[in-house]
Amino acid sequence: MSLSIGIHDLSFATAEFVLPHTALAGHNGTEIGKYHVGIGQESMSVPAADEDIVTLGAAAAAPIVARHGSDLIRTVVFATESSIDQAKSAGVYVHSLLGLPSATRVVELKQACYGATAALQFAVGLVHRDPAQQVLVVASDVSKYELDSPGEATQGAAAVAMLVGVDPALVRVEDPSGLFTADVMDFWRPNYRDAALVDGQESINAYLQAAEGVWKDYTEQGGHPLSEFAAFCYHQPFTKMAYKAHRHLLNYCGHGAGPDDIARAVGQTTAYNTVIGNSYTASVYLGLASLLDHADDLSGRPVGFLSYGSGSVAEFFAGTVVAGYRGHLRTQAHREAIARRRPVDYAGYRALHERSLPTDGGEHPTPEQTTGPFRLAGLSGHKRIYQRR
């Protein structure tokens, strides 16, 4: 009998501030319907000056360590495309902040927004090799585009942490996976840039091409038929992309693609993304958190995951929701993470967006803004200094 391996616990964190899209529309004169209806976004999370992917990742993972302890965690895999260092994994800082054992491997994975799915599959493989261990997967990103660019309205920030092990309490990860890679320049961020570059229409086209490619491969590998899935968690660079992708997949498979069918399949996966914005690697699993927190009982039902990372790499796989999962959810904590954000006006958001860390190697404390459990205290000698509260 094959091992049951998957997501045993899931927790997310988001940033200190929130910018309503009404404030963005008020600045640039955009009709608010373009945001609320056109891309499906109502607000975006904005990190404080003393927040980054490390503080968000640690805040997401801390409740998991508090609930389960760290004795079985032998590996931390940190997925991000907002890396803070060319050499050192952001996960090493998280390992330190959480007080994890020294007998742990820590690594960072990158492939645009797909990285967390690579981390999850890496984790499943490690647990399969050694069922006595658990793997902590952390996906953490800050989505950032140029001010007044088309991508600005899709920004966001969040981290999702998942504990992967045998006999999972939430979701069993299933074989097979459908895979797809194509060399396209739809979205990228050279090392010398803080903000990403994106060709919006090319990115949508590349995403839809990848959706066809992973589904074709998934069916050829003997996966579930489309009709068996209870819901689908798509990567959500903006909320309406999940609807667009599912409509495309239904059409590709020769199914009807009515609005009600699409809403049933993806609607409950989008609640958090609508108010947080794009969280890059965390996005698919933020969608899973939203689905589990909002849906009727899904016990025993397969959920489809379509993970897309620009450039591009994509994967489709199924996860079966485990009976009794509702007793292990963090629904209230997730709602509080969203509700606790403090509104920021457009001028305040712009100041945070334009802020950059000094590069001279001097002593540079950061303003104390976050009320979260971890903060970036400053820079000293080109070293990032973090604090636990």
Is 31 in the active site? Answer: no
- Spatial distance between the Cα atoms of 235 and 211, rounded to a whole number of angstroms: 11
Q: Residues 322, 326, 328, CA angle at the centre, nearest 5°?
A: 90
High-pLDDT (> 90) share of the chain, %:
96
Binning the chain into helix, strand and coil, the percentages to the nearest 5 are 40, 30, 35
Dihedral of CA 26/19/294/280: which sign? positive
Catalytic option among 81, 108, 152, 315: 81
Catalytic option among 8, 21, 95, 235: 235
Model pTM above 0.95: yes
DSSP designation for 282: G
Of the pLDDT bands very low, low, confident and very high (cuts 50, 70, 90), residue 1 is: low
Pairing state between β 73-79 and 105-109: parallel
Tokens 């504990």 — which residue?
163
Burial class (CB in 10 A: 0-12, 13-18, 19+), 271: buried
The number of helices, as runs of H, and strands, as runs of E, in the chain is: 12, 17
- Spatial distance between the Cα atoms of 371 and 291, rounded to a whole number of angstroms: 27
Domains of the chain: 5-388 (3.40.47.10)
pLDDT digits (tens, 9 = 90+) for 145-186: 999 999 999 999 999 999 999 999 999 999 999 999 999 999
Phi, psi (deg, nearest 5) at residue 247 = -60, -45
Three-state SS at 22: helix
Of the pLDDT bands very low, low, confident and very high (cuts 50, 70, 90), residue 378 is: very high
pLDDT at position 78, please?
Answer: 99
For residue 77 the two structure tokens come to 């895999």
pLDDT at position 12, please?
Answer: 98
Is 113 in the active site? Answer: yes
Catalytic option among 113, 174, 248, 353: 113
Q: Which helix (H) or strand (E) holds 237?
A: none
Q: Average pLDDT in the 8-35 region? A: 97
What DSSP assignment string belongs to 44-111? EEE--TT--HHHHHHHHHHHHHHHH-STTEEEEEEE-SS-S-SSS-HHHHHHHHHT--SS-EEEEE-B
- Residues 45/52, Cβ–Cβ less than 8 Å: no
DSSP designation for 346: H
pLDDT digits (tens, 9 = 90+) for 250-287: 999 998 888 888 999 999 999 999 999 999 999 999 99
Phi-psi region of 149 (alpha: psi -120 to 50; beta: other; left: phi over 0): beta
Is 21 in the active site? Answer: no
Pairing state between β 187-188 and 17-20: unpaired
DSSP designation for 209: H
What contacts 25, CB < 8 A, 6 or more positions away? Answer: 31, 32, 34, 35
pLDDT digits (tens, 9 = 90+) for 290-312: 999 999 999 999 999 999 999 99
To the nearest 10°, the Cα dihedral for 175, 280, 9, 387? 140
Q: Average pLDDT in the 126-131 region? A: 98
- Spatial distance between the Cα atoms of 196 and 273, rounded to a whole number of angstroms: 19
For residue 99 the two structure tokens come to 């007080």
Find out whether the peptide bond into 312 is cis, omega within 30 degrees of 0: yes
Q: Average pLDDT in the 335-356 region? A: 97
Nearest residue to 16 (alpha-carbon basis) of 376, 371, 389: 371
